[in-house]
Amino acid sequence: MSSAADLARLIAESRRLVVFTGAGISTESGIPDFRSPGGVWSKMKPIYFQEFVASEEKRREAWDRAFTGRAGWVGREPNSGHHAVARLVASGKCSSVITQNVDNLHQASGVPAERVIELHGNASYASCLECGDRHELEELKVLYEATGDLPACRRCSGIVKTATISFGQSMPAGPMARAEAETLACDLFLVLGSSLVVYPAAGFPLLAKRNGARLAIVNREATELDPYADLVLHDEIGPVMSRAAPAE
């Protein structure tokens, strides 16, 4: 039976660690996951990217969700798992955090933004689909509530969308390339709170393993990649990481 002490040993023996996080690390902050009973998609139907672009009605529905916080993706505080990861980054042990989450909690916990590789974007701000200009949600909300007009880019008048990767939207080439490079450079790949069923992101743990890195998985439920891992813990992430990467 593996323990947090075993994980601490793997971390201590590592020279270059990559952390890969999924929804499970943020459920302990009160952010719902996507696919489990009671998760986001059991309460509301996802809006596909093509629908958002083509339909003003779908864009309005998406912005109503964003401005009311119905999806629950933002507005929470980092938990002990996020802070443990931040300590690993600050120590120089962890080179990067690859995340499937859109909640901005790694940055909020103190991980420099340039060390966080967001595969599915970020729900805490918006961007123009035409020119890429960044827009802050609070500013967009004020205008939306005052006028009822859908957000448009102040620079080019293009369609503005929360900076998340929606169903049907292409994965971001830059973050995917960075994630692959970091995966191939690490000697320990640590998965925290991912069911490892969403590809292509879920391919990174096996890529690391096949490249000679050790693989550790901490997740409440079993994953399909558990048999390939050097260490598996079916436990809560915050308590495990607080013991494996304690504050000095």
Q: What's the order of all strands across the beta sheet hosting 121-128?
A: 134-136, 121-128, 160-164
C-alpha–C-alpha distance, residues 227 and 223, integer Å: 9
Q: Could you tell me which residues are beta bridge partners of residue 128?
A: 160
Residue 94 annotated in ligand binding: no
Other Cβ atoms closer than 10 A to 111: 25
The Cα–Cα gap between 195 and 204 comes to: 13
Set 106, 120, 135, 234: catalytic member: 120
Name 152's Cβ contacts closer than 8 Å, sequence gap at least 6: 158, 159, 160
**82 catalytically annotated:** no
186 marked as part of a ligand binding site: no
- Residue 193: Cβ within 10 Å count: 26
Which helix or strand (DSSP H or E) is residue 124 part of? strand 121-128
**DSSP secondary structure of 139-202:** HHHHHHHHH-PPPB-TTT--BEEEEE--TTSPPPHHHHHHHHHHHHH-SEEEEES--S-STTGG
Joined tokens for residue 243: 């013991």
Report DSSP state, residue 34.
S
Query: Which residues line the annotated binding site for Zn(2+)?
Result: 128, 131, 153, 156
Query: Which residues line the annotated binding site?
Result: 128, 131, 153, 156
Residues annotated as catalytic are 120
